[in-house]
Structure 1
């Protein structure tokens, strides 16, 4: 568990709080050059449980192009640990994405329990007091030959998406930490990549929010019935 300023917070558990933080949208580097990208997106009509379900649903290139029609290029598949409609924890996905005018690159994400990143008691309290309604966390690797640790987690970076349900839907607080596998991230990882990732993340979840509720109810996700408009 990280407790220093690596994620541009004094303690990573601050991200579980509903109050505004010093960095909600932008980029920042730590003393070692690691790059934090922070994004805040309002997802109208969506709830945290819908976002978590989405990661158990999408499985084709068409699906990820719904998610971001411009930047998402190819879905190369989930591994055998993915369970459609049930679970994405422990599963890995391969995909190809671009970031605006930055050319497409292959990526591998291995999804993790939120407690791998946060203090377990503080995470439990955040869920109980409804500061957190959903979490999607992963280790990230880039390129065709991804560096991984002994547990099979990519070493290039980490990602988290945390939702807090609101009257209008939910607020999504996203964080990326990049450059961990680089010898000189401040030189090898330009700010432009962080800024374009910030824009990419905001756009993809804005796109997602426009169709996710209908898809969620249409698929009878979690056996929920759609509320009648009239």
Structure 2
């Protein structure tokens, strides 16, 4: 369902571009306006940011998302025409069905954005040039069978960010979700329990992903990179 008002502006997520420790690396926090912030840190051993960015240009089937989370991911209902395999996902929307830990399966819609929409050109360029960041995945998100979209096709209820920083052993992934941006502060439909379930879901899916992504990335000859041999 399309609504006349635009989705709320992106929150100030600039601290995610700085590798120093944050007050909330993993946890759930209720914001002043009643929205719910969910923070997750996941260490992805053997992975690099470029692999995560590539993954969003690769996966396109229910089998693929079940690799990602064999328990919670139920169905991939397809990308729209703006997605092109191996080339782009900015501006594209996806439909899927997934559980959030003990919360039963629910439909979800995400529309992906260029990170510049969130942080601005100079901040994004500086973060990559200083290697504080190696990948940024940004999307507007909504859950349910009747996700409200603005006139640009953006879900109005939520925001999602996945930001990596490469390390010697792989990369650190910081994930942020903001839920309930279309709700009043007195509306309890986005509960703390939902936030905790999403936190567990996110940590689990990216831990699963880290176990096979490097092999898949090199097996698919992503970015035409030479394959590093272990012997």
Task: Tell me the TM-score normalised to structure 2 length.
Answer: 0.94
Contact residue 34 and residue 185 of structure 1 kept, 8 A:
no
Query: C-alpha separation between the residues in 2 aligned to 1:185 and 1:110?
Result: 27
Task: Tell me the TM-score normalised to structure 1 length.
Answer: 0.94
After TM superposition, the structure 1 = structure 2 runs for residues 64-103 of structure 1, keeping only pairs within 5 Å, are 64-103=65-104
After TM superposition, the structure 1 = structure 2 runs for residues 18-167 of structure 1, keeping only pairs within 5 Å, are 18-167=19-168
Look up the SS of the partner of 1:117 in the other structure: helix
Deviations along 1:10-57, one digit per CA (max 9) or x if unpaired, are x52111001001000001011111100000000000000000000011
Q: CA deviation at 1:206?
A: 0.3
Residue of structure 2 equivalent to 1:216: 217
Query: C-alpha separation between the residues in 2 aligned to 1:17 and 1:58?
Result: 29
Look up the SS of the partner of 2:188 in the other structure: helix
Look up the SS of the partner of 2:125 in the other structure: helix
Q: CA deviation at 1:102?
A: 0.5
Q: CA deviation at 1:120?
A: 2.3
How many residues get paired?
223
Contact residue 179 and residue 185 of structure 1 kept, 8 A:
no
Query: C-alpha separation between the residues in 2 aligned to 1:185 and 1:36?
Result: 16
CA RMSD of aligned residues (A): 1.2
Query: C-alpha separation between the residues in 1 aligned to 2:210 and 2:22?
Result: 23
Q: CA deviation at 1:150?
A: 1.5
**Given the superposition, is the C-alpha separation of residues 141 and 165 from structure 1 closer, same or farther in structure 2, using an over 3 Å criterion?**
same
Query: C-alpha separation between the residues in 1 aligned to 2:188 and 2:82?
Result: 36
Query: C-alpha separation between the residues in 1 aligned to 2:230 and 2:144?
Result: 46
Query: C-alpha separation between the residues in 2 aligned to 1:229 and 1:185?
Result: 56
Look up the SS of the partner of 2:215 in the other structure: helix
After TM superposition, the structure 1 = structure 2 runs for residues 186-205 of structure 1, keeping only pairs within 5 Å, are 187-205=188-206
Report which stretch shifted further, 84-93 or 114-123: 114-123
The answer for unaligned runs of 5 or more in structure 1 is none
Q: CA deviation at 1:186?
A: 5.2
Query: C-alpha separation between the residues in 2 aligned to 1:182 and 1:76?
Result: 27
Residue of structure 1 equivalent to 2:228: 227
Deviations along 1:52-91, one digit per CA (max 9) or x if unpaired, are 0000111111100000011000000000110001111110
Residue of structure 1 equivalent to 2:4: none
The answer for unaligned runs of 5 or more in structure 2 is 1-8
